[in-house]
Structure 1
Amino acid sequence: MASRRDWLEEGLRVLGEEGAPALTVDRLAARLKLTKGSFYHHFKGMAGYRSDLLAHYEAEHTGRYVADADRRGGDTPRARLLYLRELVLDDKDGSDALEIAVRAWALQDPEVHALQQRVDRTRVGYLRELVRGAGGDADATPLARLLYLLLVGAQQVVPPLPAEELREVYDLALRLAPHGEEPVA
């Protein structure tokens, strides 16, 4: 029997590959090779599943990054910022497609829109905290926004920007930070 997490992870895969309209109990059950009863064992209908899926997305694609950077990113805000850059650049298992799908869904659904606003605020807020701690007090908010907009923009470009080229763009942006050190390669 699939776990609750299995259903949520499969939902994120479906969302990233096929978009929000593909999120149906039938589609999820078929992909997991399970019965709909297994779905209803874990969730109280599709509305409950969608809410749980959004919470899972937020935890895995925002909270996990912040926690990992804080825990393993180093002793300084600058080190955590560079570690976070590498986490984002290394995590290319469909996360760009998922991010695009969630943003598209947010244009059509108030619950998803509220989630996207919260995720964006959290991500920019964490970047601002790191930039400020790295010595960029005066320009922390604009630089945090710039770093985040680079990621969002890079996810939208066709064809996608290779990680090494995006790393170069991030390095350039980080050199703009007042009182900041040169980024390490």
Structure 2
Amino acid sequence: MRKEDWMDSSLKLVSKHGVDILKIDSLCKKLKVTKGSFYHHFKSHKIFIEEILEYWYKTFTMDIIEKSKQFENNPLKQMELLNNTIYSKDLNIEIEFRAWGLRNELVLPYMEKIDKERILILRNIQDKLNPNLDEKINEEMTLLIYCKFLGTLFIQPRLSSTRNKELDDFLLNLVLSSK
């Protein structure tokens, strides 16, 4: 098993079983591998946790932001790409890690780093969509957009990706009409 396979498989297991599956014994049992395979790639459980959080940060935040930059000059297209990419991801992982971050001091800094990057790209888009709006209003709109994303993750029963996209379109129309 390659290191990246460990990361991808572990994220899939988190989605299905929650973060408690990230214990070495549980992982090895589910993946049908030995502890030696685990320790071949990770010196300790703590290092594994840090690396999986970093991998999640990269694949669920930074890679998406980077991909969206191809449309920097078209903020509507950039926002559309962000939304489509985000809702194509397994958001159960986001929910599990966020809940974990509330009770684990190792996870919390990753949540803060992720939120900072996501808010920054949304603010950049908001400023392009509404360049003539007061800075404070653009800041508030940015936070509202991001809070909508986070909040809808926790609504039960879960909203479908289609319903989330409809809400995003509605919110985007509100943003555009505030010019």
Query: What's the TM-score, normalizing by structure 2?
Result: 0.89
Higher share in helix: 2
C-alpha deviation, 1:180, in angstroms:
7.3
The 10-residue stretch of structure 1 (82-91 or 116-125) with the greater mean CA deviation from structure 2? 82-91
What displacement does 1:179 show? 6.5
Structure 1 segment 61-140 matched on structure 2, within 5 A: 61-71=60-70, 73=71, 75-91=73-89, 95-136=90-131, 137-138=133-134, 139-140=137-138
What RMSD in Å do the two structures reach over aligned CA positions? Answer: 1.9
Task: State the shift of 1:19 in Å.
Answer: 2.2
In structure 1, C-alpha distance between the alignment counterparts of 2:73 and 2:127, rounded to whole Å = 15
Give TM-score scaled by structure 1 length: 0.86
SS of equivalent residue, structure 1 residue 145: helix
**Deviation at 1:178?**
4.8
1:163 correspondence with 2:158: no
Structure 1 unaligned blocks of 5 or more: none
Q: State the one-letter code of the partner of 1:61.
A: F
CA distance, structure 2, for counterparts of residue 90 and residue 105 of structure 1: 22
Cα distance in 2 for partners of 1:15, 1:155 equals 16
Q: Which residue of 2 aligns with 1:5?
A: 4
The runs of 5 or more residues in structure 2 that have no matched partner are none
Q: Is the CA contact 2:129–2:176 (under 8 Å) kept in the aligned structure 1?
A: no
Deviation at 1:31, TM superposition (A): 2.3
Per-residue deviation, 1:15: 2.2
Task: Give me the whole-angstrom Cα distance separating, in 2, the residues matched to 1:131 and 1:74.
Answer: 12
Q: How many residues align?
A: 176
Q: Percent identity?
A: 24
